[in-house]
Amino acid sequence: MTTKLFVGGLAWETRDDSLKNFFSTVGTVVSANVIIDKYTDKSKGFGFVEMSSEKEAEEAKTKLNGQALDGRNISISDARPQQPREERPQQ
């Protein structure tokens, strides 16, 4: 079973490939996604990494939390399920 992690504190320059490479040092990365602002094409400062097992996810949190990636110290926690967004009233 895969485990998804939330990664905060990312640099604006961080992209999917560097996030994946960083986490692959502790296990098999199923997916790595940096959330990008569609107007500026820069990272919004957070992303998600899916590890192939819960054990590897725990190891990533233990070994990589607080470490520097692209010049910024990152924070890692378990990802929460996405909440449904409320409809905005039309103006």
| CATH of residue 38 | 3.30.70.330
* Distance, CA of 1 to CA of 84 (rounded, Å): 24
Q: Is residue 13 part of a domain?
A: yes
Q: Is residue 73 part of a domain?
A: yes
Domain that holds residue 59: 3-78
Structure confidence at residue 80 (pLDDT)? 86
Q: Is residue 87 part of a domain?
A: no
Sign for the pseudo-dihedral over CA of 2, 80, 9, 39: positive
Overall number of domains in the chain:
1
pLDDT tens digits for the chain (91 residues)?
679 999 999 999 999 999 999 999 999 999 999 999 999 999 999 999 999 999 999 999 999 999 999 999 999 999 988 777 777 777 6
Q: Is residue 17 part of a domain?
A: yes
Q: Is residue 84 part of a domain?
A: no
Chain-centroid distance of CA 38 in Å reads 17
Collect all residues with Cβ–Cβ distance below 8 Å to 78 and sequence separation of at least 6.
3, 4, 5, 6, 57
Return the residue matching tokens 């602002």. 37
